Amino acid sequence: MTGPRIRPRRLRATPAWRRLQRETRLDASQLVLPMFVAEGAPEARPISSMPGVLQHSTETFRAALHRAAEAGVGGIMLFGIPEHKDAVGTGATDPEGILNVATRIAVAEIGDSLVVQTDLCLDEFTDHGHCGVLDAHGAVDNDATLERYRDMALAQAAAGSHLLGLSGMMDGQVDAIRSSLDAVGRGDVALLAYSAKYASAFYGPFREAVQSSLQGDRRTYQLDAGNRREGAREVALDVAEGADVVMVKPAMTSLDVLADAAAVSPVPVWAYQVSGEYAMIEAAAARGWIDRERAIDESLTAIVRAGADAVLTYWAVEAAERWKDA
């Protein structure tokens, strides 16, 4: 009996073969850990919808920073949770606001070991929860918001941030911020543009994490989930405006957009494995429905396989430590 001459299974026959011919490899340096720091918190507070993720106090934050550095992850992305909010997000530009304080702590503690990144968006700081300031009719005013973003960029650069995460999805934000930084001699500060950021149901747990005040939705500025070409257009615009890195978010439901961006982008392309992706795997694993560690690694592999040069993930430190010990 004659069998097939071409047998791809030959290269899957043993663990050694599978390791040798693996196309996509993961490394701790590809991972960025999002971190939440709460103003006035006496101790770390658990986030119920994201088991294992914390709102840090400024003290517990220090230990978590060193753990991330020792694990060998590539960087951290910081989010501040203020005690007080207002219509224009005053705390975002206050040098003593929680995000800028946390940035100074991070740079002082581990600034030579990790890329310290900061979320440049107003949503955590506004009492209405939108990513920009509102006009007289309650709509987000794009150009007025850019002025606030310029001030935020200068404040975050002064606090020591290495990379600003432009997550607000305002038209022209990369150009506005790059121009403001360059005008004061801060060409050293890099910009990460959240270029293809979709209006997604998978952001739900994040809203708890940052104690969001959002009423309504963000569909007038975040992308519609059905639009692939629009994602590519946003990436191209941000590259043209001077972004050093571009982002696709959320990762899981945007792998096609991620692959499109990776195929043409002259700058690194990152992806954000968002809170809902994290929460789903944690919830299913807690019920014994899936193998937790395999699911984490498979999800990260899929994102890198699609073209991500780095991944923001809440499992960054855990995965890095586990891979180191493997």
The residue with tokens 């290495």 is: 162
Q: Is residue 2 part of a domain?
A: no
pLDDT at residue 325, as a whole number? 79
Q: Is residue 18 part of a domain?
A: no
CATH of the domain at 168: 3.20.20.70
Q: Is residue 135 part of a domain?
A: yes
The C-alpha atoms of residue 207 and residue 241 are separated, in whole angstroms, by: 29
Active site residue 324: no
**Helix 98-110 / helix 142-159 crossing angle, nearest 10 deg:** 40
Q: Is residue 37 part of a domain?
A: yes
Q: Is residue 178 part of a domain?
A: yes
For residue 288, give its domain range: 25-325
pLDDT at residue 326, as a whole number? 72
Q: Is residue 163 part of a domain?
A: yes
The C-alpha atoms of residue 295 and residue 266 are separated, in whole angstroms, by: 31
Q: What residues of the chain score a pLDDT lower than 70?
A: none
pTM: 0.96
The residue with tokens 């914390």 is: 54
**Exposure string over 266-280, b if 16+ CB within 10 A, otherwise e:** ebebbbbbbbbbbbb
Active site residue 197: yes
Of the residues 148, 249, 252, 270, which is catalytic? 249
Of the residues 197, 210, 296, 300, which is catalytic? 197
Q: Is residue 200 part of a domain?
A: yes
Report H helices in the chain: 15-20, 58-71, 98-110, 142-159, 173-183, 204-209, 228-241, 255-264, 275-286, 292-306, 316-325
Per the structure, how many domains does the chain have?
1
Coil vs helix vs strand at 77: strand
